[in-house]
Amino acid sequence: MRILKPTRANIALAAQALEEGKLGIVPTETVYGLAAVATNPAAVKAIFKAKGRPADNPLIHHVADLDGAKELVSEMPEIAVALAHRFWPGPLSLVLPKSDKVLLAATGGLQTVAIRVPAHPVALSLLQRLGQPLAMPSANPFMSLSPTKVPHIDAKLSKKVDFILDGGPARVGIESTVIGVEGDKLILLRPGGLSIEEIEAAAGQAVTIPKKAKRILAPGQYRRHYAPKTRVRLVPSLKPSQAGLVLGPAEGPNQREMPTDPVKYAQRLFDVLFELDELGLRVIYVQRPPAEPAWRAVMDRLRKAASEAD
């Protein structure tokens, strides 16, 4: 495994390794991703094996632009095109009917595919150099915390890849928002780095928010996910003796004061959980954020880390 600075020469080396069917770890604005050429059956299979990921859990396909996305779908409704123009590159994944070019193994056996254009210069340069879509889930063992910087990457997983492109800390800090597009209907499949309110404003219509997924239609829909090794508990407030995340001033040595802005909180969330996970604590306590729509994505990650039902 090679840790590479994102120079033009190293991006070319990374593209060559991917073309040869190898796996790599690539920075995006959300989290670091475990990448393979999406049209290579053996490489896609290797992603699932490396992560210990269930075969029914779809992989998000990353492309360089809207034209690349259109090659992967059998149809793209006007509303999907409008959202792509507004939010790509960015932390929005659209789930659409797949074309024959997309492997069933990469979609969890579904006839739909999740697609996005990442807003990170390294990922975009690699995709442009490669000229092919990348299947790229988060670069972590299944159900574990997603890495937002290279030191977070699991040591065992790093041994299963050919390279890691170091693009610095992820700007968004949590995974993309996943929206299913069914005709002119928009369905929230996973909250993430783009707020539902922004999507609704751009679309001029409401996004349907299902109470509970009947089956896995997108990544991140398992009850337990994004979890540190240490047990996580959500609580109204922390005692000074309790370690964890607080929204006010930290009162204990192992408490971390988190931003009261949900976007900034999301940027720091996984980084702080990684830090506390290394301390050998019995429990990481998290002060429950406000029950407001702006906190939807953060609460989704916290509930899944704590295995707390919605």
Span 127-176, pLDDT tens digits? 999 999 999 999 999 989 999 999 999 999 999 999 999 999 999 999 99
Q: Summarize pLDDT for 215-225 with one digit per residue, the tens.
A: 666 665 555 56
Residue 64 has pLDDT above 80, yes or no: yes
pLDDT computed for residue 217 by the predictor: 66
Within 10 Å of residue 19's Cβ, how many Cβ atoms?
Answer: 15
Q: Where are the domains of the chain?
A: 2-203, 231-305
Mean pLDDT score, 60-67 = 98
Q: Which residues pair with 92 in a beta bridge?
A: 177
Complete edge-to-edge strand list for the sheet that includes strand 177-182: 2-4, 163-165, 24-26, 33-37, 134-135, 60-62, 112-116, 92-97, 177-182, 185-190
The pLDDT tens digits of the residues spanning 182-192 come to 999 999 999 99
CA proximity to 105, closest of 158, 51, 56: 56
Percent of the chain exceeding pLDDT 70 equals: 95
What residue type is 56 in one-letter code?
A: D
3-state secondary structure of 307: coil
Across the range 13-25, mean pLDDT stands at 98
- At residue 185, φ and ψ (nearest 5 deg) are -100, 140
- pLDDT at position 247, please? 96
Which class would CATH give 2-203? alpha beta
